[in-house]
Amino acid sequence: MLGVIGQILPEAVGIALSPLPIIGLILILFTQQARKNSLMFTLGWLIGLAVVAAIVLLLVQAGAITVGEETTKTGVKWLALLLGLLLLFLAYRNWQKRPKAGEEPETPEWMNKLDSVKPGAAFSLGAALSGVNPKNLLLNVAAATAIAEAGLPTAGTIITLIVYILIASVTLIGPVVYYLTAGARAEEVLNELKVWLIQNNATIMAVLLLLIGVKLVGQGLGVFG
C-alpha cells in the first residue's frame, strides 16, 4: 500500500499545488459567508476528487478493466502514455500563457463573481475545479488508474484513496483551518499569497505538468518493450 501511495504522490502533489483552486478559496474566505462558503467549497472539492477516482475503481470492479491480465497492463501503459502526452501539451500551453515582465496576468471570469457567491455555488465550484477542470481531471485519472492497477484488497484501496485525496486537498484544508484560527493576521497573509499565485499561476502549472507528464510518458513507453 505504501508503494502505491508513493507512486501516486506526484499526481496528488500536482493537484494540491494547482494555484487556481487555492486562489478561488482565498477569495471565498473574504466573502460575507466566509465560514460556510469555504467549508462548502472544500467539501465540493473533496467530493469531486472522490467521484472521479471512484468511477475508475468501479470500472475495474465491474470488469470493464480486468487488473492483472497482460492486455490490461498494456492498456494501462497506453493510457499513461496518452495522459503524459496531454499533460506535456498543457505544460507547453501554460508556459506560453505566462505573463511577460510587466504584464498583468489574466484573471478567470469566475473569480470576479465570487464576492456574492452562495454556499451552494461554492460547493459546485469546488467540485468543478477538482472533478471537471481538465488539468486536475487528467492527474486524478492517472492516480486512480495506478490505484486500480495495484490490485489492493478493498480496505487497502479505500485507505490509499483517502490518503491520496487528503494529500491532494491539503493546500485547501490548510488555508481554511488557518483562517478559522489565525484571526486578523490571516487576511494579510492570504492576500499576499493570492497575489503571488495569480502572478505565477501559469509558470507553476507548466512546471508541475511537465514533471508529471514526463513521469507518465516514461511509464507509458514500456508498451514498446
Look at residue 149 in the predicted model and tell me its pLDDT: 81
Q: Is the pLDDT of residue 203 over 80?
A: yes
Average pLDDT over residues 84-91: 90
Q: Per-residue pLDDT tens for 91-126?
A: 998 888 888 776 777 777 777 778 788 999 999 999
Q: Dig out the grid coordinates for 63 from the structure.
A: 470488469
Q: Is the pLDDT of residue 65 over 70?
A: no
Look at residue 30 in the predicted model and tell me its pLDDT: 85
Average pLDDT over residues 148-158: 86
Closest CA to 21 of 108, 92, 95: 108
Look at residue 84 in the predicted model and tell me its pLDDT: 86
Comparing 66 with 83, the larger pLDDT belongs to 83
Look at residue 165 in the predicted model and tell me its pLDDT: 96
Place of cell 465491474: 62
Q: Is the pLDDT of residue 73 over 90?
A: no
What is the average pLDDT value for the chain, to the nearest integer? Answer: 85
**Does this model's pTM top 0.85?**
no
Look at residue 67 in the predicted model and tell me its pLDDT: 47
Q: Per-residue pLDDT tens for 4-40?
A: 899 899 999 999 998 989 999 999 988 888 889 999 9
Among 66-80, 82-96, 180-194, the range scoring the smallest mean pLDDT is 66-80
